[in-house]
Amino acid sequence: MTASRVLVLNSGSSSVKYQLLDMRDGSRLAAGLVERIGEETSRLKHSPLAAGGESRETTGPIADHDAALKAVARELSRDGLGLDSPELAAIGHRVVHGGKRFTEPTVVDDAVLAEIERLIPVAPLHNPANLTGIRTARALRPDLPQVAVFDTAFHTTMPEAAARYAIDVETADRHRIRRYGFHGTSHAYVSRETARLLGRAPQDVNVIVLHLGNGASASAVRGGRCVDTSMGLTPLEGLVMGTRSGDVDPAVIFHLTRVGGMSTDEIDTLLNKKSGLVGLCGDNDMREIRRRIDEGVEGDEDAARAKLAFDIYIHRLRKYIGAYYAVLGTVDAVVFTAGVGENAAPVRESAIAGLEALGLAVDPGLNAARSAGPRLISPEGARVAVAVVPTDEELEIANQTYALVGGDAAERAGQDDGEGAA
Percent helix, strand, coil in the chain, to 5, is 40, 20, 40
Q: Are 230 and 217 in contact (CB under 8 A)?
A: yes
Asked if 215 touches ligand ADP (CB under 6 A), the answer is: yes
Nearer to ligand ADP, 27 or 343 (CB): 343
Nearer to ligand ADP, 334 or 344 (CB): 344
- Residue of 279, 339, 390, 414 that binds ligand ADP (CB under 6 A): 339
Give the amino acid at 84.
D
- Residue of 202, 213, 235, 374 that binds ligand ADP (CB under 6 A): 213
- Burial grade of 377 (CB within 10 A; 0-12, 13-18, 19 or more): buried
Q: What x/- string results for residues 236 through 265 when contact with ligand ADP is judged by CB under 6 A?
A: ------x-----------------------
Closest CA to 181 of 128, 225, 132, 133: 225
Q: How far is the CB of 289 from ligand ADP (least distance, A)?
A: 8
Q: Are 97 and 180 in contact (CB under 8 A)?
A: yes
Q: How far apart are CA 48 and CA 63, in angstroms?
A: 24
> Is 143 noted as a catalytic residue in this protein?
no
Q: How far is the CB of 159 from ligand ADP (least distance, A)?
A: 27
Nearer to ligand ADP, 156 or 284 (CB): 284
> How many Cβ atoms are within 10 Å of 201's Cβ, its own excluded?
12
Q: Which of these is catalytic: 22, 79, 151, 392?
A: 151
Q: Are 14 and 64 in contact (CB under 8 A)?
A: no
9 three-class SS: strand
Q: How far is the CB of 394 from ligand ADP (least distance, A)?
A: 11
Nearer to ligand ADP, 268 or 285 (CB): 285
Nearer to ligand ADP, 214 or 269 (CB): 214
Q: What x/- string results for residues 263 through 302 when contact with ligand ADP is judged by CB under 6 A?
A: ---------------------xxxx---------------
Q: How far is the CB of 213 from ligand ADP (least distance, A)?
A: 3
- Window 59-118: residues binding ligand ADP (CB under 6 A): none
Residue of closest CB approach to ligand ADP: 339
Only one of the segments 103-111, 171-179, 212-220, 262-270 lies at the binding site for ligand ADP (rule: CB under 6 A); that segment is 212-220
Q: How far is the CB of 285 from ligand ADP (least distance, A)?
A: 4
Q: How far apart are CA 422 and CA 419, in angstroms?
A: 6
* DSSP conformation letters of 87-125: TEEEEEEEES--TTT--S-EE--HHHHHHHHHTGGG-TT
Nearer to ligand ADP, 10 or 378 (CB): 10
- Residue of 338, 351, 388, 413 that binds ligand ADP (CB under 6 A): 338
Q: How far apart are CA 382 and CA 359, in angstroms?
A: 7
**Binding residues for ligand ADP, how many (CB under 6 A)?**
13
| Dihedral class, residue 406 (left if φ above 0, else alpha if ψ from -120 to 50, else beta) | left
Q: How far is the CB of 56 from ligand ADP (least distance, A)?
A: 23
Closest CA to 140 of 186, 94, 71: 71
364 three-class SS: helix
Q: How far is the CB of 409 from ligand ADP (least distance, A)?
A: 28
- Residue of 340, 352, 377, 405 that binds ligand ADP (CB under 6 A): 340
Only one of the segments 83-91, 115-123, 208-216, 322-330 lies at the binding site for ligand ADP (rule: CB under 6 A); that segment is 208-216
Q: How far apart are CA 371 and CA 422, in angstroms?
A: 9
186 φ, ψ (degrees, to nearest 5): -70, -45
List of E strands, 282-361: 333-337
Residues with catalytic annotation? 151
Residues at the contact surface with ligand ADP, assessed by CB under 6 A: 213-215, 242, 284-287, 338-340, 343-344
